[in-house]
Amino acid sequence: MSPRSATTWVPGHITGFFAVERAPDPLATGSIGAGLALRNGVTVTVTAPGDGTITVDGRERVVEPAERVLGTFDTGVSVAVDTAIPIGTGFGVSGAIALGAAVGANAVTGATRTENELIGTAHRAEVEAGTGMGDVVAQARGGVPIRLTPGGPEHGRLDGIPARRRVEYVSYDELSTAEVLAGDIAPINAAGRAALRTVRADPTLDCFMTASRKFAKDADLLTGRVAETIETVEDQGGAASMAMLGQTVFAFDRDLSDAGFDPAVTRIADGSLRID
Amino acid sequence: MSPRSATTWVPGHITGFFAVERAPDPLATGSIGAGLALRNGVTVTVTAPGDGTITVDGRERVVEPAERVLGTFDTGVSVAVDTAIPIGTGFGVSGAIALGAAVGANAVTGATRTENELIGTAHRAEVEAGTGMGDVVAQARGGVPIRLTPGGPEHGRLDGIPARRRVEYVSYDELSTAEVLAGDIAPINAAGRAALRTVRADPTLDCFMTASRKFAKDADLLTGRVAETIETVEDQGGAASMAMLGQTVFAFDRDLSDAGFDPAVTRIADGSLRID
């Protein structure tokens, strides 16, 4: 009596700052940090039976973490994704597809995993694919997730900033999460841990933005055009930072518009998944 | 720069089964069990400055857990509640008001508590008032929360059933949570622990309903009219159980309608709070 098709919506997620913590168990591996779940997200429709094909906005794509998720189910399914956010530019799209694929596959194959188990399945797939370290658990929480300890639901502890706000962003280009994480992670981790201490002492959206901006600078992750955009916003009295990890600049309220940019507009997402 | 007024929506919550676990610390006290977060919920608007008045659907009411929550903030506020669900009949309205009051008071007083801290504030207030033991943490999660261990966010572990469905209910009368919990809790706890084991072994909505029905019977909590209604639904081939703790019968899909009742209709809620 399993339905043939199941649709799940997952929010986008911008990480403001992070530090990577690795462990032998992928479910205990991940990142600490904080970010924004966004109303601009992805809609994932899983259909059974299927041949494992994943299409994103109508085009077949290789989405390794989602393929790893599908490999954990006994029945073959197909996945169709509609996304309101660009891939590879710091919105956690790969994690969102992995999580939506997990929830949908569970529904259509008659598997009986719990939410925590499905979040763990998607988190593990992201870690093993090297495409993300903390988006999945953040997307499953929604709002403004603070990742206190790394890993899937059995390991990672989360908190959140209880505030919502308009978010603007401009995206320039992709940035490989796997390549950045393969580089020298020590300065990133030092800056990420410092930012987390700062935000835990003052858990507000303004402090989140300030800490994210300092992290981007201290971790030396700013690319040319991203740095220029942030500086232009700051010259106009606003605040902005870089989505980790993509060539995307985000700001609250109208700070990008007011500095003359033509940003996409969304809002911090309430809640987390929507399961149809 | 705090806003003068803040509005938060909190889902209703029907508990299907539970067991109470007390500890010296109210934040470690609570119930294990499982339930349904509902799209029928309460909208809580907190305004500062205010004199501590709480109005529900336009009438001033004493809502002890919400008053306890307001007492933890330095600034006086007023609270106005619109509710789509009846008070005292097993929908967790007191917990929803307490949680909405906590989030709203945090916003309008310029306090900087985190989501976990606010959930803990509301949970503690419910436990101390004796009005609820697990609704708050369930409402803060949304969906179909399974409460694995008792208490606020620092103590309680949650999981969830990843499914959503139409919910029907009929409500007859109030039932005092405090009075039931003051009675012989041993048979309730034994039945609640057994039901939780059952649902953890088969985390599906059908199993949740079956386990809830068995719990209501084994814990000897069924009142006359509630028992009759459930039996009428079962005579028609459906399934229903009792909302803990109120004289309310709930069912999935159309099981109450099909048995000739005229139920209220809602749906399992995606996500949790909505913060404006």
Whole-complex ipTM: 0.95
Confidence check: pLDDT of B3 > 70:
no
Which pLDDT does position B249 carry in this prediction?
97
Which pLDDT does position A2 carry in this prediction?
58
Nearest-5° angle of CA A174, CA A180, CA A181?
130
Strand pairing category for A78-83 and A54-56: parallel
Which pLDDT does position A180 carry in this prediction?
83
Confidence check: pLDDT of B106 > 90:
yes
B202 touches chain A (CB under 8 A): yes
Q: Is A146 close to B114, i.e. CB distance below 8 A?
A: yes
Q: How far away is chain A from the Cα of B174, in angstroms, using its nearest Cα?
A: 30
SS (H, E, C) B151-214: CCCCCCCEEECCCCCEEEEEEEECCCHHHHHHCCCHHHHHHHHHHHHHHHHCCCHHHHHHHHHH
Residue of A106, A107, A159 with shortest CB distance to B115 = A159
| Cis amide leading into B99 (omega within 30) | no
B275 touches chain A (CB under 8 A): yes
Q: Report the percentage of chain B scoring pLDDT > 70.
A: 99
Would you tell me how many other CB atoms lie within 10 Å of the CB of residue B207?
18
Residue B239, helix vs strand vs coil: coil
Q: Is B142 close to A106, i.e. CB distance below 8 A?
A: no
Q: Which of residues 81-140 of A touch B (CB under 8 A)?
A: 103, 106-107, 112-118
Q: For A174-192, what is the mean pLDDT?
A: 88
Q: Which residue has the tokens 């109120």?
A: B246
The per-residue pLDDT of chain A, averaged, comes to 95
Confidence of residue B164 (pLDDT cuts 50, 70, 90): very high
Q: For A159-182, what is the mean pLDDT?
A: 90
Q: Is B275 close to A112, i.e. CB distance below 8 A?
A: no
Q: Which run of H or E residues covers position B274? A: strand B274-275
Which pLDDT does position A174 carry in this prediction?
81
Which pLDDT does position B174 carry in this prediction?
80
Confidence check: pLDDT of A1 > 60:
no
Q: Is B202 close to A112, i.e. CB distance below 8 A?
A: yes
CA distance B257 to B12: 21
Q: Spell out a b/e string for B149-165, using b for 16 or more CB atoms within 10 Å of the CB, else e.
A: ebbbbebbbbbbbbbbe
Q: Report the percentage of chain B scoring pLDDT > 90.
A: 89
Nearest-5° angle of CA B244, CA B246, CA B249?
80
Q: Which of residues 17-76 of B touch A (CB under 8 A)?
A: none
Q: How far away is chain B from the Cα of A179, in angstroms, using its nearest Cα?
A: 33
Q: How far away is chain B from the Cα of A182, in angstroms, using its nearest Cα?
A: 33
Decide: B144 and B203 in contact? Cβ < 8 Å: no
Q: What are phi and psi of B152, to 5 degrees?
A: -70, -175
Q: Report the percentage of chain A scoring pLDDT > 70.
A: 99
Decide: A55 and A269 in contact? Cβ < 8 Å: no
Q: For B158-165, what is the mean pLDDT?
A: 96
Q: For A127-145, what is the mean pLDDT?
A: 96
Per the confidence metrics, is the pTM higher than 0.90? yes
Q: For B185-208, what is the mean pLDDT?
A: 97
Q: Is B160 close to A114, i.e. CB distance below 8 A?
A: yes
- Can you read off the two tokens belonging to residue A176? 């490989």
**B43 vs B179: which has the higher pLDDT:** B43
CA distance B212 to B191: 10
Judging contacts by C-beta atoms under 8 Å, the chain A residues touching residue B100 are none
Confidence check: pLDDT of B276 > 80:
no
Q: Is B143 close to A276, i.e. CB distance below 8 A?
A: no
Which pLDDT does position B88 carry in this prediction?
85
Confidence of residue A177 (pLDDT cuts 50, 70, 90): confident
Decide: A11 and A85 in contact? Cβ < 8 Å: no
Decide: B82 and B43 in contact? Cβ < 8 Å: yes
Confidence check: pLDDT of B1 > 70:
no
Strand pairing category for B30-47 and B166-173: unpaired
Q: Is A113 close to B203, i.e. CB distance below 8 A?
A: yes
CA distance A276 to A188: 39
pLDDT in tens, A7-21: 999 999 999 999 999
Decide: A237 and A159 in contact? Cβ < 8 Å: no
CA distance B71 to B73: 6
The per-residue pLDDT of chain B, averaged, comes to 95
Confidence check: pLDDT of B47 > 60:
yes
- Can you read off the two tokens belonging to residue A210? 């300030």
pLDDT in tens, B50-104: 999 999 999 999 999 999 999 999 999 999 999 999 888 899 999 999 999 999 9
Picking from B114, B164, B206 by the largest number of A CB atoms within 10 A of its own CB, the best residue to mutate is: B114
Q: Which residue has the tokens 């992750």?
A: A221
Which pLDDT does position A3 carry in this prediction?
61
| Cis amide leading into A245 (omega within 30) | yes
